[in-house]
């Protein structure tokens, strides 16, 4: 097992070779990775089964087990993500603009690789491939440190990726996997100044907070998802029911799942029973305001202040009846995490006000929050969903993993 400093050196030593690869070489490597994942699916599933068994023994909740689980279909989806990234236009080398100055200098901006990108993540083995693929296409090497819950899966996937690159004559140290899952390795990674050009945490609130607070290397903050569905007074209630059920129940363990339902008072008596009926087959536990409890009766738990700010990551949801669109926006901006918010409405004015005033990375009109995803946005895959406002925001695809440099052409100018 290589120690983290050795791995960081390997990644740093490889970055120039990765940056120099042509688009065709990078695409060839990504397609080779996709083929390797498909060819070794049984091996990946066996490694994942060991992680799931260990997770259940250690008491992981079902939401985390779901995040951890790989299936044949999910592996095929991960491989397809690699092929989609290969199909994307290579951003490296793109000249964004070029202007002439009065002194004859021509000054422009050009897109370049980050260098070495570190990613710390938890029980999400798919991140191992998504992150590596995007970093590689963006011309950067990567240092991956997954959680102990997904160790066997992530190790298997990283080994397959490195072997696929080596077989194509490409630098295998473009992908580097930290086998040490101790807290010490994470702390060490946060302080790899001179090795990492940027560090991206992807996981729960605790992990993200720890990285933001303790890292001395530059960090791009990805966020947790306390996402809301607001059902406006003019909403199509059938559409609202469908969106609410999908946003909450299609995969409750992910960050783009809805955690809170807001309903305008004018439609609350009609819609809340519809919402409850749609959520009931999934066993969703509701935490409601006094008006919600009055309309739905027994079975609804009184909502606390903590409930409105909670990312449940399971079959639970807070519910509140609001008096106006303005009240809904104020509630969302108070409790949300800047991730994804949705309004269901037939009013153009209401939709535009919601889009303008809600502070979040992704804001939807008449659609589920579950679409906040790099794959769904056409990015091929994502490194995470940024809830900050510097450099990148929302699903971080290929372009978000690049930097720029100024390029200046002269003919002998001096100052």
For residues 99 and 29, state if they share a domain. yes
For residues 207 and 257, state if they share a domain. no
Residue 131 belongs to some domain of the structure: yes
Residue 388 belongs to some domain of the structure: no
Identify the CATH number of the domain in which residue 339 sits: 3.40.309.10
For residues 175 and 232, state if they share a domain. no
C-alpha distance from residue 204 to each of 127, 191, 313 (Å): 14, 20, 10
Residue 414 belongs to some domain of the structure: no
For residues 231 and 96, state if they share a domain. no
For residues 232 and 317, state if they share a domain. yes
pLDDT digits (tens, 9 = 90+) for 122-171: 888 999 999 999 999 999 999 999 989 999 999 999 999 999 999 999 99
Number of structural domains (the chain) is 2
pTM of the predicted structure, to 2 decimals: 0.79
Residues above pLDDT 90, as percent of the chain: 80
- Predicted local confidence at residue 20, as pLDDT: 96
Band of the pLDDT at 380, cuts 50, 70, 90? Answer: low
For residues 214 and 251, state if they share a domain. no
Residue 381 belongs to some domain of the structure: no
For residues 304 and 354, state if they share a domain. yes
**Residue 406 CB burial class (10 angstroms; 0-12, 13-18, ≥19):** exposed
- In this predicted structure, the answer to whether residue 30 has a pLDDT above a threshold of 80 is yes
What's the mean per-residue pLDDT of the chain?
93
d(CA 286, CA 35): 44
For residues 205 and 248, state if they share a domain. no
Residue 118 belongs to some domain of the structure: yes
CA 101 from chain centre, in angstroms, equals 41
For residues 258 and 290, state if they share a domain. yes
Length of the chain: 415
pLDDT digits (tens, 9 = 90+) for 81-126: 899 999 999 999 999 999 999 999 999 999 999 999 999 998 889 9
- Predicted local confidence at residue 63, as pLDDT: 74
For residues 64 and 136, state if they share a domain. yes
- Predicted local confidence at residue 326, as pLDDT: 97
Residue 382 belongs to some domain of the structure: no
d(CA 83, CA 26): 11
d(CA 58, CA 41): 25
Residue 384 belongs to some domain of the structure: no
For residues 34 and 149, state if they share a domain. yes
Residue 80 belongs to some domain of the structure: yes
Residue 222: DSSP 8-state: B
State the residue range of the domain holding 233. 227-371
For residues 170 and 111, state if they share a domain. yes
Mean pLDDT of all residues in 254-279: 96
């Amino acid at each position: 097992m290589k120690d983290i400093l050795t791995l960081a050196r390997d990644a740093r030593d490889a970055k120039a070779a990765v940056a120099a690869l042509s688009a065709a070489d990078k695409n060839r490597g990504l397609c080779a990775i996709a083929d390797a994942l498909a060819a070794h699916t049984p091996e990946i599933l066996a490694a994942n089964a060991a992680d799931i068994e260990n997770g259940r023994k250690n008491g992981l909740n079902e939401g985390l087990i779901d995040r951890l689980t790989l299936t044949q279909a999910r592996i095929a989806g991960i491989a397809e993500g690699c092929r989609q990234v290969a199909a994307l236009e290579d951003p490296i080398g793109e000249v964004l603009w070029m202007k002439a100055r009065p002194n004859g200098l021509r000054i422009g901006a050009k897109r370049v690789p980050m260098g070495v990108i570190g990613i710390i993540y938890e029980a999400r083995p798919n991140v191992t491939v998504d992150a590596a693929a995007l970093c590689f296409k963006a011309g950067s090497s990567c240092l991956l440190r997954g959680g102990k819950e997904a160790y066997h899966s992530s190790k298997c996937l990283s080994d397959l990726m490195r072997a696929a690159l080596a077989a194509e004559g490409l630098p295998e140290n473009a992908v580097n996997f930290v086998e040490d899952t101790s807290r010490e390795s994470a702390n060490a990674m946060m302080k790899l100044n001179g090795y990492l050009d940027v560090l991206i945490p992807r996981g729960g609130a605790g992990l993200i907070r720890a990285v933001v607070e303790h890292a001395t290397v530059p960090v791009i903050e990805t966020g947790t998802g306390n996402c809301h569905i607001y059902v406006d007074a003019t909403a199509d209630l059938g559409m609202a029911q469908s969106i609410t059920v999908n946003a909450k129940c299609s995969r409750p363990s992910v960050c783009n799942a809805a955690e809170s339902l807001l309903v305008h008072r004018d439609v609350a008596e009609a819609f809340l029973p519809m919402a409850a009926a749609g959520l009931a087959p999934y066993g969703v536990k509701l935490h409601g305001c006094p008006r919600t409890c009055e309309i739905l009766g027994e079975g609804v738990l009184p909502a606390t202040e903590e409930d409105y700010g909670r990312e449940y990551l399971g079959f639970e949801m807070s519910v509140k009846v609001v008096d106006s669109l303005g009240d809904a926006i104020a509630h969302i901006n108070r409790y949300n995490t800047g991730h994804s918010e949705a309004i269901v409405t037939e009013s153009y004015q209401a939709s535009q006000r919601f889009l303008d005033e809600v502070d979040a990375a992704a804001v939807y009109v008449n659609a589920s929050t579950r679409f906040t995803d790099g794959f769904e946005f056409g990015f091929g895959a994502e490194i995470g969903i940024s809830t900050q406002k510097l450099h990148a925001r929302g699903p971080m695809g290929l372009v978000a993993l690049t930097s720029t440099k100024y390029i200046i052409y002269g003919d002998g100018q001096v100052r």
